Amino acid sequence: MSGHSYDAENYWKANLRLIFGSLVVWFLVSCGAAMIFRPMLSGISVGGTDLGFWFAQQGSILTFIVLVFFYAWRMNKIDEQFGVSEE
């Protein structure tokens, strides 16, 4: 891949958009639901405690897994779409 072809630029933009969206979720579950917004979510009870606690000890980790797989799957599709995949 060389130079600034139109497609190459759009490919990179698509990647940046995907990363940005994923990192927003990443931030919202960990720093958001599990910490900053925990008091607001305290009304929702989960097994003897509240939703924020569940996010802090389980939910954010589960979300991280989904995010990384989703990113890998979407990116591979985008690679194909823009014709930059390895094979």
By the rule CB under 8 A, 76 interacts with another protein = yes
Please name the residue that has the structure tokens 């919202």: 28
A 10 A CB-CB count for 29 gives: 21
Nearest approach in angstroms of CB 14 to another protein is 11
By the rule CB under 8 A, 14 interacts with another protein = no
Dihedral of CA atoms 20, 25, 31, 37 in degrees, nearest 10, equals 130
Token duo for residue 66:
């989904």
Write out the binding residues for another protein, residues 49-68 only, by CB under 8 A. 49-50, 52-54, 56-58, 60-62, 64-65, 67-68
- Distances in Å between the Cα of 29 and the Cα atoms of 40, 75, 87 are 14, 22, 36
Residues found near another protein in the complex (CB under 8 A) = 1-4, 8, 11-12, 15, 19, 22-23, 26, 30-31, 34-36, 38-39, 42, 46-50, 52-54, 56-58, 60-62, 64-65, 67-69, 71-72, 75-76, 79, 84-86
